[in-house]
Amino acid sequence: MPRIGMEPLRRKALISAAIEAIHARGMGQVTMGEIARRAGVSAALAHHYFGGKDQLLLATMRHLLSELSDEIQARLAEAETPEERLSAVIRGNFAAGQFRPAVISAWLAFYVQAQTDPEARRLLRVYTRRLESNLVHALRDLTTRERAARVAETAAALIDGVWIRRSLAEKSPDPEEAARFVEEAVRTALRRSDA
Amino acid sequence: MPRIGMEPLRRKALISAAIEAIHARGMGQVTMGEIARRAGVSAALAHHYFGGKDQLLLATMRHLLSELSDEIQARLAEAETPEERLSAVIRGNFAAGQFRPAVISAWLAFYVQAQTDPEARRLLRVYTRRLESNLVHALRDLTTRERAARVAETAAALIDGVWIRRSLAEKSPDPEEAARFVEEAVRTALRRSDA
Amino acid sequence: MPRIGMEPLRRKALISAAIEAIHARGMGQVTMGEIARRAGVSAALAHHYFGGKDQLLLATMRHLLSELSDEIQARLAEAETPEERLSAVIRGNFAAGQFRPAVISAWLAFYVQAQTDPEARRLLRVYTRRLESNLVHALRDLTTRERAARVAETAAALIDGVWIRRSLAEKSPDPEEAARFVEEAVRTALRRSDA
Amino acid sequence: MPRIGMEPLRRKALISAAIEAIHARGMGQVTMGEIARRAGVSAALAHHYFGGKDQLLLATMRHLLSELSDEIQARLAEAETPEERLSAVIRGNFAAGQFRPAVISAWLAFYVQAQTDPEARRLLRVYTRRLESNLVHALRDLTTRERAARVAETAAALIDGVWIRRSLAEKSPDPEEAARFVEEAVRTALRRSDA
DNA sequence: AATGAATGAGTTTTCATTCAT
DNA sequence: GATGAATGAAAACTCATTCAT
């Protein structure tokens, strides 16, 4: 069933399938076969497009990272006050598309991968730095420059921490509630640091 | 040359080897052979002792959980004031034995495992609840009961968040600095919530 | 962009590419993709033209056999004395077009193929018989009929033996020197058998 | 069915099986599975012992080369005159264990392999040099030193050439006849070179 | 108790081949 | 006529697990 111009669609389908498969089976157990089956293509095609399991996984993470970036940029574009910018960064991280069980599984797996795989680590650093830079930028007008860095780190840690903890909680994660929780905690840290 | 009384030593050696192997190869790639080789025994023996790969990995997890618990309990036993108890919980989480690259890799791997494996999830919940309970207990005398729960959650998220972020940073993690950072952030949250 | 009259050119290009590919990767590892890429066409087209890998390889063999035959016939056409005819056969086998590393690899590969593949064996027999017949014919006027057969076999063995040994030697093969060596050895055998 | 001390036996069985399989299927088509099945073991074991297909093939050739060497050395040990030494080298190359269709297939395949695989080429050089050295040594007392080198090369080419040609002949190869043919041809070359 | 030997089951990977355009 | 797309089938290779010793 070869049709022309299918490559981009197949690639997307494979990446989506990879996210679901990682969630369902766990990163350690996913096979190219499983992912390809979910995407409705042959394992051979997945290989043809991505070159191998590791590279499909990296492509998947690049995709998630870029989606996350888009979520945050879209919110930042509409933000007008410093408070809104701060909120945009936090809420972007808990956007509906991101804060889903399957995506969380992929992120955690990515953290693990980053421990050993240099390319994964590099990608993760890009995300980390971008988050920090966004936070520092938003906080610059809300406190002194020295405090901004420290509050930004607190905020980043809270985002990651809440993210992970919520993803392991019994009930399915509630993005709105999680974002609100982080926002309030950061606001608290911020007011305190004004004093 | 089997010697009597070797079993407990071999079990410990295998668990340590598992932690190192997870760090070196990544959870997805660890093999019984690799673990056994690092422990200086045959793969067949590792099998014999633990019953299988999954169970060896779970035993490793239980070991880490119990070590963490011990670190915290030891510090709590010496704490006399509520502030010291709070500090004990935080610092226990960043204890030298815990906050090492290999152990961090193993912990992250277990977070991932917990997304799909019920037994791993159960074990991780035990840790989560114990941490929360320890925190709430320490905070009870420092603020109102309602605020205690919220600050405890903030503290827990900060611990996990700082933990992960530091473990992925360029420079090798500094337990003392990390603990201090979390302590200060929690103290800030606490003072603010008094107001 | 199909153009008319391209087929014969493409066929030749594919056969040349096959020879190069066999040399570069070894007969066992050649793939249609590799050959097609070297010829600058798609694997599908190579398939279309030749009907399959085996048949492309046999066509390549037929091509080599026929080139060798042409080399010898061209030289025989110009030979006037029995000695010249003998020389023509020997030198034809070491003609520049034939005695190149890539072609040598292909020939050896075909020898191997001929061990198991009946069609390849049939083709190789044609070459063997033609060589013998050419030699016997050239030798007929130089010695007795009985001796001619024996010297022809010696000559044939020397041609094949020198061919293989030179092609595997460290230095790149020197056609002129190889041909002269065989010629002299055959002349020696011939003079001796006169006695 | 694991029994202790089986490794050397299995290795030998696998090498024999490889020789037969190469003959039956052709080098390009042999699979580890086929070889292992012929040896009565699992493909996994073949991998375990040899590390991969290429290495099994190299091990097979090392085995054949060493057998050939043994055949020649055994004959040389019993030879007393220069003529007997010369005969020992020639007949060793056509020894019953060597001059069998399956072994011939393996050798040819090895020649091909040597075109691209450096390790195979290295091994082949060892054989080539040893053969030449044996021949020159045997010829030294039969002619002048300068002629010895040239006759040795003729002899070596004859051995290889007859070997290959006989292996492609219709009738199954006759070692005795082949050896006699080469011996006579070499003797002829030798007598001539005396003059 | 401990291990080397052995394998079955499964995974990645490669390719010739086919098909729609 | 020519190709990119797609796949089935088969191969190499890996590994947890079992078994005889």
As a rounded value in angstroms, the CA-to-C1' distance for C93 and E14 is 38
Name the closest residue (CA) to the C1' of nucleotide F14: D44
Helix (H) or strand (E) holding A98: none
As a rounded value in angstroms, the CA-to-C1' distance for B26 and E1 is 31
Q: For position D42, what pLDDT does the model report? A: 96
> Is the C-beta atom of A1 closer than 7 angstroms to strand E?
yes
Domain boundaries, chain A: 1-51, 61-194
Interface probe, candidates B22, B23, B116, chain A, greatest A C-beta count within 10 A: B116
The residue of chain A with its CA nearest to that of B102 is: A115
Helix (H) or strand (E) holding A39: helix A32-39
Mean pLDDT of B38-43: 96
- Residue carrying the six token digits 């919110």: A75
Q: State the sign of the Cα–Cα–Cα–Cα dihedral C82, C84, C87, C88.
A: negative
Tell me the C-alpha distance between A191 and B191, whole Å: 11
Tell me the C-alpha distance between B149 and B135, whole Å: 8
Q: For position C57, what pLDDT does the model report? A: 93
Tell me the C-alpha distance between A44 and B184, whole Å: 54
The residue of chain D with its CA nearest to that of C116 is: D26
CATH topology identical between D1-51 and D61-194: no
Is C87 within 8 Å of C79 (Cβ atoms)? yes
Name the closest residue (CA) to the C1' of nucleotide F1: C2
Mean pLDDT of B82-98: 90
Q: How many CB atoms lie within 10 A of CB C157?
A: 24
Q: For position D178, what pLDDT does the model report? A: 95
Mind listing the pLDDT tens digit for each residue in C70-120? 999 999 999 999 999 999 999 999 987 777 888 988 988 888 888 888 899
Instruction: List CB contacts (< 8 A) between C161 and chain D.
Output: 156-162, 164
Q: For position D171, what pLDDT does the model report? A: 82
Is D173 within 8 Å of D166 (Cβ atoms)? yes
Q: What does the block give as tokens for B166?
A: 């530091």
CA D192, distance to chain mean position in Å, is: 29
Chains in contact with C, where contact requires at least 3 CB pairs less than 8 Å apart: D
Top mean-pLDDT range of A99-113, B93-107, B178-192: B178-192
Chains in contact with A, where contact requires at least 3 CB pairs less than 8 Å apart: B
Instruction: List CB contacts (< 8 A) between B159 and chain A.
Output: 161
Q: For position C137, what pLDDT does the model report? A: 92
pTM beyond 0.95: no
pLDDT of C1 over the 60 cut? no
Q: Which CATH class is domain B54-194?
A: mainly alpha
Mind listing the pLDDT tens digit for each residue in B22-38? 998 888 889 999 999 99
Asked if A153 and B113 come within 8 Å (Cβ–Cβ), the reply is no
Q: For position C195, what pLDDT does the model report? A: 45
Instruction: List CB contacts (< 8 A) between C170 and chain D.
Output: 125
| Percentage above 90 pLDDT, chain C | 63
Q: For position D195, what pLDDT does the model report? A: 45
Q: Which CATH superfamily is domain C57-194 in?
A: Tetracycline Repressor, domain 2 (1.10.357.10)
Question: Following CA atoms D190, D192, D194, D195 in sequence, which dihedral angle do they give, to the nearest 10 degrees?
Answer: 180
Mean pLDDT of B66-83: 93
Low-confidence winner among A49-53, C26-30, D42-46 (lowest mean pLDDT):
C26-30
Dihedral pair phi/psi, residue C145, rounded to 5°: -60, -40
Is D124 within 8 Å of D111 (Cβ atoms)? yes
pLDDT of B136 over the 60 cut? yes
Q: Which CATH class is domain A1-51?
A: mainly alpha
Mind listing the pLDDT tens digit for each residue in C141-179? 999 988 999 999 999 999 999 998 988 887 888 899 999
Decide which of 3.40.50.150, 1.10.3720.10, 1.10.357.10, 3.40.50.720 is the CATH code for A61-194.
1.10.357.10
Dihedral pair phi/psi, residue B16, rounded to 5°: -60, -45
Name D21's Cβ contacts closer than 8 Å, sequence gap at least 6: D30, D34, D35, D38
Closest CA to C178 of C81, C102, C104, C76: C104
pLDDT of C184 over the 60 cut? yes
Residue numbers in chain D where pLDDT is lower than 50: 194-195
Query: Which of the nucleotides in strand E have any atom less than 7 Å away from a protein CB atom?
Result: 1-21
Nucleotide nearest residue C56, measured CA to C1':
E16
Q: For position A192, what pLDDT does the model report? A: 60
Q: Taking all residues of chain B, what is their mean pLDDT, rounded to a whole number? A: 90
Mind listing the pLDDT tens digit for each residue in A100-132? 888 888 888 888 888 888 888 899 889 899 999
Q: Band of the pLDDT at B195, cuts 50, 70, 90?
A: very low
Name B66's Cβ contacts closer than 8 Å, sequence gap at least 6: none
Minimum distance, in Å, between the CA of residue C52 and any CA atom of chain D: 16
Q: For position C88, what pLDDT does the model report? A: 96
Q: For position D47, what pLDDT does the model report? A: 96
Q: Taking all residues of chain A, what is their mean pLDDT, rounded to a whole number? A: 89
Tell me the C-alpha distance between D24 and D30, whole Å: 8
